[in-house]
Amino acid sequence: MSAAAENSGGLPYVKRSASRLAAVQALYQVASTQSDYTKVVQDFLSGRLGGIAIDEDPDTEVETHVKLADMDQAMFSTLVSVACSREDEIDGMIDASLSAEWPKERLELIVRSILRAAVAELLGALEAPARMTNSEYVDITHAFYSGYEPKMVNAVLDKIARTLHGPKFAAS
């Protein structure tokens, strides 16, 4: 990855990635508990929620808690705010981009949360290149799934990015 891509937007790559993952976790929390997103954001920013991941050893199936890298709080807050405030619009874009083999009823909540955060970013919540955004959220999907889900997320995000960014996305 180029230094420009790693430092896009003036933030270190690791902080940007941590912010995206935290946004996905927060959106999942909002959707699963029907909590107000501003409360969930505050809980993440204060450290009451988020900041850890569960890592499972594939050989022993033993789970351990892993502290995540520090996130950029402004980036995190922006992603969650845009995803929640434009949820109906974003969900419409996601649903319209799904294939017949993967109808909206088949989307697990974590996949929808990944897609919501990604589409919020593609809508301009951040100034990140669309291809990098897509790649980041496909990587996040790989952290949760080893099956077909990452390919589906890639296909949906590719379709939405082409719609939103047209020739600029196709040429990048």
pTM of the model: 0.82
CATH numeric code, 10-164: 1.10.940.10
Lowest mean pLDDT among 8-22, 35-49, 106-120, 128-142: 8-22
What average pLDDT score do residues 5-32 get? 79
What average pLDDT score do residues 53-82 get? 74
What average pLDDT score do residues 79-83 get? 96
**Residue 3 reports pLDDT greater than 60:** no
Q: What is the pLDDT of residue 125?
A: 67
**Residue 168 reports pLDDT greater than 70:** no
Q: What is the pLDDT of residue 142?
A: 94
Q: What is the pLDDT of residue 67?
A: 57
**CA 80 to CA 37: how far, in whole Å?**
7
What average pLDDT score do residues 1-29 get? 71
Q: What is the pLDDT of residue 14?
A: 81
**Residue 24 reports pLDDT greater than 60:** yes
DSSP 12-66: -HHHHHHHHHHHHHHHHHHHHHT--HHHHHHHHHHTSS-SEEEEE-TTT--EEEE
Q: What is the pLDDT of residue 51?
A: 54
Which CA distances in Å does 32 have to 74, 80, 110? 23, 15, 9
- The residues spanned by each domain of the chain are 10-164
Q: How confident is the model at residue 6 (pLDDT cuts 50, 70, 90)?
A: very low
